[in-house]
Amino acid sequence: MKFKYVICQLTGPVLWPYTDHVWHKHIARATSQEEPNPVTSAGFAEIGGGKVRCYGRSESLSIDSKPAEDARAIAAVLGMEPVIEVVPVKAASPEREPYKRGRNGDQDMHLPDGKTCGDCVHFRRCNLMFGHIATDEVCDWAPSRFRLAASGAAA
């Protein structure tokens, strides 16, 4: 099962089921209401089969995960085994063909005509999280969250 998490300096790990509606910054704010409780890392965790694997980063907090350290902390709290590995970025694989409009029949996920993922302000995040490449013509979000980058290409 996929989770989001923050590791706080005072309280340690805080996990919640993956959702687009609760961001890392919301939990960070909630853990600091009584006293300051700085977030030291944040990301995503896959938990299953008695093992914990951590990866990614929090865009809302601009904080990277510390995969090995975070997996150990979460696994210790849950009484599980940490999976210590470097998760490779799935993106920019020259072996993959671009996802083209019409591949899944869901019009809500198509990018505007003539635009690709590389033209979107969210490209870097989608590249890291979902493995999108700059020439993809469909979005993993439904409806599409495409927003044209200011320069016409994502930074």
Is this prediction's pTM over 0.85?
no
Last residue of a domain, one of 55, 82, 109: 82
Could you read off the pLDDT of 42-96 as tens digits, one per residue?
999 999 988 999 999 998 999 999 999 999 999 999 989 888 765 454 444 456 6
Residues 29 and 66 grouped into a single domain: yes
Residue 40: the pLDDT is 95
Do residues 61 and 118 share a domain? no
Cα 23 to Cα 16: distance, rounded to the nearest angstrom: 10
Residues 28 and 94 both lie in one domain:
no
129 three-state secondary structure: helix
Burial 84-119, CB ≥16 within 10 A → b, else e? eeeeeeebeeeeeeebeeeeeeeeebbbeeeebbbb
pLDDT in tens, 7-41: 999 989 999 999 888 999 999 999 887 788 899 99
